[in-house]
Amino acid sequence: MPRKKELSFEEALGRLNEIVDQMEQGDLPLKDLIANYSEGMKLAGTCSQALSRAEQAMDLLVQEKDGEAVTQKLIIEEEGK
Amino acid sequence: MAIHGVSEVNRFIKGLLQGEPALRRLMVRGELSNFKVYASGHAYFTLKDATSALKCVMFRSRAQYLRFRPENGQSVIASGGISVYERDGVYQLYVDSLAPEGQGALAQALAQLKERLAAEGLFGEAHKQPLPFFPRRIGVVTSISGAVLRDIYHVSKRRDPSVQLVLKPVQVQGEGAAAQIADAIRFFNEKVPVDVLIVGRGGGSMEDLWAFNEEVVVRAIYASRIPVISAVGHETDFTLADDVADVRAATPSQAAELAVPDTQGLRQHVQSLAIRLQQAALHTISRKRDALAYAMERPVFEHPAEALLAPRQQALDQTIERFQRAAKTCLGARQQAMDDAMKRLELLSPIHVMRRGYAVIERGETPVTRAAQVQPGDALTLRFADGCVMAEARETGKNSRGGK
């Protein structure tokens, strides 16, 4: 199977909604039911994973140098410090 | 000379004044006096200079937007048009906007710029871009110091700990601020891909916020392919950046709320979808299982032999019975016929005749049925029903029936 482009969170959630609606609505043939169910659970996993991503991306401070972006870690100073 | 009514004169003068373009729209500098806002919301005051006074009225529809508290003695610039209040026969300035002197020019310039950019369509709803649903990188254009960045940081991390902030620090007020802000917005669009931009600063005076009213900033926001949320000053502050932004946030905190979805809520939503998915699947399967069970309970599955064979067995039984009956009927008739035949046969039997007193004559083994067969001297056997007599023929002849 050709490798599919990774769905965005939004697309995954949209597709998941679609599948749930369809499954709640109709008496799907067993074959489709199983296919939809696996796809739905996979999407739910993708979404949850996206939401629970543990790693916190480093916040950046970006400056322009000779027309290019130069980044460094952004330190947010707390009030009073 | 004609004689005129008072109303007529006043109306005439009003018409004259209104017909004068220079009086239709003008700005007047003066000192405020007798400033009073009536219960109706309309404001009445007089503008004075060293030698003269001018009556002014500012209707509620305009007065409610006053951005400062007017005080008597204050030097102000009022803009509006001159007309006549016919009842009292006075002319007065009908004021559209009023600003403390010093801000007056600024306010005027702002109004003109806004009008010009609006005419160009920069504030049209058609150009508003939707915000991304689940942004991963938030670009921030603001000062590196100050509460704005902190507020955005805290609110966005609370809602989604994994969201990434990318700050392009700029000067947000003073000389060169507008150019820096505009450049930063362009820079994000060209060099630093982010999902959404927050452009703003904290509260301040109208002059402090001024950079966000400048044309370069407005045009940079308009040109941004990245959706822009404006967050300038407080809830009551409005700048042209707010008008042109895709979404206006009242405060920097609100900007972060608008930009970053609450992942906790989203996680629950996804979870509930997964549960609904499972339930729907189980429900459908159980419905199918019921249908299967129902089908299996049908006799053909429950007792397949009986169900399938019984009807055939019955048909067979019936056929056999019919066959037997038919056979019986058929045989019965034959039996009867045979019995009859037997009886008739019996009647024809020589023994039967012999019982009635006749005898059968035989010569040797051969029955003798005619006289001509017999020669005198032949040995004959006379066979009666009850036994035989051996005899010898004495004489032959035709039909001698002596005696009788």
pTM for this predicted structure = 0.55
Residue bearing tokens 């707010």: B242
* Nearest chain B CA: its distance from A19 CA (Å): 8
For B116, phi and psi rounded to 5 degrees?
A: -65, -45
Contact A52 B267 (CB under 8 A): yes
Residues of chain B in contact with residue A41, where contact means CB-CB under 8 angstroms, are 274, 277-278
- B354, burial (CB in 10 Å: exposed 0-12, middle 13-18, buried 19+): middle
pLDDT in tens, B250-267: 999 999 999 998 888 888
Strands, sheet with B366-368, edge to edge from the N-terminal-most edge strand = B366-368, B360-363, B379-383, B388-392
* Cα–Cα distance, B61 to B55 (Å, whole number): 19
- B50, burial (CB in 10 Å: exposed 0-12, middle 13-18, buried 19+): exposed
pLDDT at B93: 95
Residue B162 has pLDDT above 60, yes or no: yes
Taking one residue from A and the other from B, the number of pairs with CB-CB distance under 8 angstroms is 115
Q: Where are the beta strands (DSSP E) in A1-81?
A: 60-65, 68-73
Residues of chain B in contact with residue A59, where contact means CB-CB under 8 angstroms, are 153, 164-167
Q: Work out the pLDDT band at B331, boundaries 50, 70, 90.
A: confident
pLDDT in tens, B285-330: 888 888 888 888 877 777 777 777 777 788 888 888 888 888 888 7
Residues of chain A in contact with residue B191, where contact means CB-CB under 8 angstroms, are 64, 67-69
pLDDT at B218: 95
Residue B403 has pLDDT above 50, yes or no: no
**Percent of chain A residues topping a pLDDT of 90:** 0
* Nearest chain A CA: its distance from B84 CA (Å): 58
Contact B133 A19 (CB under 8 A): no
Q: Work out the pLDDT band at B369, boundaries 50, 70, 90.
A: confident
| A-chain residue closest to B289, CA distance | A30
Bridge partners for B380 per DSSP: B391
Of these ranges, B98-102, B234-238, B277-281, the one predicted with the greatest mean pLDDT is B277-281
Contact A78 B150 (CB under 8 A): yes
pLDDT at B401: 55
Over its length of 81 residues, how does chain A's per-residue pLDDT go in tens digits? 344 567 788 888 888 888 888 888 877 787 888 888 888 888 888 888 877 765 677 888 888 888 888 888 888 876 654
- Whether the predicted interface score ipTM is above 0.95: no
Dihedral sign, Cα of residue A45, residue A51, residue A52, residue A57: positive
* Nearest chain B CA: its distance from A49 CA (Å): 9
Contact A19 B277 (CB under 8 A): yes
